[in-house]
Structure 1
Amino acid sequence: MSTFVPAHPETVFTYGAPGLKFGVGARFELGHDLAQSGARRVLVVTDPGVAATGAPAELAESLAAAGVEAVVFDRSRVEPTDGSLIEAIDFGRAEGPFDAIVAIGGGSSIDTAKAVNLLTTNEGELMDYVNAPVGLGRAPAQALLPLIAIPTTTGTGSESTTICVLDVVSQHVKTGISHARLRPTMAIVDPQLTLTQPASVTAASGLDILCHALESYTARPYTSYEHKQPGERVPYCGANPIADMWSEKALSLMATSFRSAVQHGDDLEARTQMAMAATFAGLGFGNAGVHIPHANAYPIAGRVRDFRPDGYGPDGGPADHAMVPHGMAVSLSAPAAFRFTFDASPDRHVRAAELLAPTAQRPDDVSEFLPTVLAQVMRDVGIPSGLAEVGFGDGDITDLAEGAMKQQRLLATAPREVTEDDVATILRQSIELW
């Protein structure tokens, strides 16, 4: 097993987070907060499904009562593409200027708002800022507007992170834009907004929470990197004591709330614990980083053919376009990925399994503990049984592995060096999980 032994080990880790307001009814304080900041005209970014719940209109009314004008863009695409982001950016440029941007919705709406914020305050086009080698990897030169993120799903952590994720359709690849300035200024987490989440959306986004926590907890430690100068440091700095704390708490909260939130959507206590877990996991991985399961998820989602999951259509039925939801795509290769990374940090993998399943019996082969526990959670909440169930087979492995290897920003955080053959093996083991 290849390990990372730097000649001059890093001695510094960084930590960043948005301001946070958490609790039932917290969304109704946004008007006060914006008025206090001097904002008088804001862009509200959401998607058709969330708009249909009435929450964005309700929010706009509360802003108007506080003297803040809200212009609503409600066409964010679930699992954004470069085309859908450009549509939102063009709207923001045409309707601006704005004093702030508010995102209300899942990670897709929040990521769309991040792209709008970036491209309405900085020159250039979208692909200028997309991570290399897919895009040019340009950094924003100008400060962005205040961005307030109000998640309506529990999982993506986008309200805490510096990442905007998108599909680049022409290249059949999912990638992102990554820069510290993309991090929202404030996250307003109101668990009441998640009560309308369909069970399938709760399941997929919940697996995203688990993988955020598990990947950041098992990421290569920050001390395994070469020492960097201040201008060279990136948001994903590796496992560190502060991120570890958030990840551990997220796992313990999910152990007691996840299944109940999926099976009993009106359980506000379970929804509140899950919303807190999503927030904690976002605060962890938004600094430590994620690795192999997320790298694999990008081509899995980007190369989908016909799979249309339930719960993602505007009426709560099947999605209106082929898609593998992000959290589902991340989870499908996660059991095999954690089997691969076990030798890098056995104690952490065992500890993570114990946090997620406190009463589970430790198997004789402890390298199977976390993969087994995670696969059982996936079965319990109704996640597909492997890549085959979402339309992939042996003939797709080479293409998927090639796509995953383009995600070097993520693979650099893995606790072991990862070759294309390693990724192919992980994906092949993920065709049928049970």
Structure 2
Amino acid sequence: MIDFMFHMPTKLIFGSGKLKELANPENVPGKKAFIVISSGGSMIRHSYLTFVQNMLNHNDVESVVYNKIQENPVLDHVTEGAKLAKQHGCDFVIGLGGGSSIDSAKSIALMANNDGNYWDYMQAGTGGKKTPKNPALPIVAIPTTAGTGTEADPWTVITNSETNEKIGWGNDSTYPTLSIIDPWFTLTVPPKVTAFTGMDAFFHSVETYLSMQRQPTSDLLSQQAVQLINTFLPEIVKEGQNIEARTMVSWASTAAGVCQSLSSCMSLHSMEHALSAYYPQIPHGAGLILLSRAYFKHLTPHMPERMTDLAYFMDVDVDALPEEKRPFAFVDALDKLIKNIGMGELSLADYGVEKEDCAKMAKNAMETMGVLFTCTPVEMSEEEVTAVFADSF
């Protein structure tokens, strides 16, 4: 924590009603937008797409809409989207929706300004390990969920369906130029999605607090995010129209995203990427929940002080516990939080995961996202990773 870099080039505009700032000409980085949304139709049903286009119209900005993004975004759609953005002469890209849409927007923005295949630039697995010649087109991120924090970091996670590889990547140019976080646009998110996305932000915060890449600013933000999510996520799962609580969780998500820029997630995310690469029907937040208890039980004995801190941030009276039990209080608090958001009965079997795939997923996690294992303060063997997968059933 003595040596670190603070680099955060994204302009963040946060607050209820702030999406109107998109009409400000100072906030528009081009004249023709390529708008990336999901295939689910929620951006159209709730008129969010229309709202964004109306704001752009104030500055005579044209737009082209791409609406094929899946819950776990795939390489084919990045390739197709980039081709369309080039064909239509778009000069910036807007990611509107959840993390999948914004991640896809980042990758499309990169490939709309570079040749070849996006996988040429992956630095792990079967990736080509090349360096892009050109920066991405300017990116505007407009999250309508509170969870991924991708509006505040350069990372974009895409799955190569042919090779079952789900890999994160990013460079300075894939930081959004502008991110507008308007909690009003999270009011329509259903309870289950609210829970899954909120827990994604929670684990970003926890992992960056424990990470070997942690630093003073990420420590402070992750502490706050853990506290806010533990307090307010159960509230908004039960009462989604609570704008004050929604605002708190939206900020926690963005703060956790900043943490991912300044610090790094750990191998829990590597393992979930492997899980949902083989089982793409699993939402990312659900996968993290399913693996988390076994994962943190494995880590707790190796980092007792930090695990005790996390329990404290979750309002556990750790001083009242015997000293030897304090580090394990976090896993108990985590279990309580998972139950409080209605996910206590969630199981890998719900998604058809086969236990015999544990070794295959462990190998995948270490080969495709091995870099996050180097950020984990505990060295984990392939056998240990396999055991964590198995213990998650």
TM-score by length of 1: 0.84
Is 1:391 aligned to residue 352 of structure 2? yes
Deviations 1:224-252 (A, max 9, x none): xxxxxxxxxxxxxx011111111011011
CA shift for structure 1 position 112: 0.9
Between the aligned partners of 1:33 and 1:91, the Cα distance in structure 2 is: 25
Question: Residue in 2 aligned with 1:283?
Answer: 258
Question: Residue in 2 aligned with 1:65?
Answer: 58
Question: Residue in 2 aligned with 1:31?
Answer: 23
Q: Residue 291 of structure 2: which of 333, 346, 349 is its match?
A: 333
Cα RMSD, aligned residues only = 2.0
Is 1:368 aligned to residue 360 of structure 2? no
| Gapped regions of structure 2 (runs ≥ 5) | none
Q: Residue 24 of structure 2 aligns to a residue in which SS?
A: helix
> Which amino acid is the alignment partner of residue 404 of structure 1?
A
Q: Residue 171 of structure 1 aligns to a residue in which SS?
A: coil
Question: Residue in 2 aligned with 1:6?
Answer: none
Between the aligned partners of 2:271 and 2:70, the Cα distance in structure 1 is: 22
Deviations 1:161-214 (A, max 9, x none): 111111111112211223222111121100000001010000000110110000
- 1:131–1:176 CA contact under 8 A, matched in 2: no
Q: Residue 236 of structure 2: which of 251, 257, 261 is its match?
A: 261
> Which amino acid is the alignment partner of residue 115 of structure 1?
S
CA shift for structure 1 position 275: 0.1
Q: Residue 136 of structure 1 aligns to a residue in which SS?
A: coil
CA shift for structure 1 position 38: 6.3
Question: Residue in 1 aligned with 2:98?
Answer: 106
CA shift for structure 1 position 418: 1.5
Pair 88,37 (structure 1): closer, same or farther in 2 beyond 3 Å: closer
Is 1:45 aligned to residue 20 of structure 2? no
Matches within 5 A, 1:120-269: 120-220=112-212, 238-269=213-244
Between the aligned partners of 2:199 and 2:65, the Cα distance in structure 1 is: 30
- 2:154–2:172 CA contact under 8 A, matched in 1: yes
Matches within 5 A, 1:309-348: 323-348=281-306
Comparing 44-53 with 189-198, which one deviates more in the overlay?
Answer: 44-53
Pair 430,244 (structure 1): closer, same or farther in 2 beyond 3 Å: same
> Which amino acid is the alignment partner of residue 396 of structure 1?
D
Between the aligned partners of 1:140 and 1:362, the Cα distance in structure 2 is: 53
Deviations 1:353-376 (A, max 9, x none): 221234687475334211221122
Between the aligned partners of 1:348 and 1:278, the Cα distance in structure 2 is: 21
Comparing 69-78 with 79-88, which one deviates more in the overlay?
Answer: 69-78
Pair 266,296 (structure 1): closer, same or farther in 2 beyond 3 Å: same
> Which amino acid is the alignment partner of residue 302 of structure 1?
A
Between the aligned partners of 2:90 and 2:96, the Cα distance in structure 1 is: 19
Q: Residue 371 of structure 2: which of 406, 409, 417 is its match?
A: 409
Between the aligned partners of 1:118 and 1:132, the Cα distance in structure 2 is: 18
- 1:43–1:70 CA contact under 8 A, matched in 2: yes
**How many residue pairs end up in the alignment?**
387
TM-score by length of 2: 0.93
- 1:134–1:175 CA contact under 8 A, matched in 2: no
Between the aligned partners of 1:14 and 1:66, the Cα distance in structure 2 is: 33
Between the aligned partners of 2:355 and 2:66, the Cα distance in structure 1 is: 41
- 1:293–1:331 CA contact under 8 A, matched in 2: no
Between the aligned partners of 1:401 and 1:75, the Cα distance in structure 2 is: 30
Deviations 1:102-148 (A, max 9, x none): 21100011011101110011222111112322311322222222211
Question: Residue in 2 aligned with 1:315?
Answer: none
Is 1:357 aligned to residue 349 of structure 2? no
Between the aligned partners of 1:398 and 1:37, the Cα distance in structure 2 is: 48
CA shift for structure 1 position 17: 4.6
- 2:305–2:327 CA contact under 8 A, matched in 1: no
Between the aligned partners of 1:419 and 1:216, the Cα distance in structure 2 is: 21
Q: Residue 152 of structure 2 aligns to a residue in which SS?
A: coil
**Identity fraction in percent:** 27
Q: Residue 165 of structure 1 aligns to a residue in which SS?
A: strand
| Gapped regions of structure 1 (runs ≥ 5) | 1-8, 221-237, 305-321
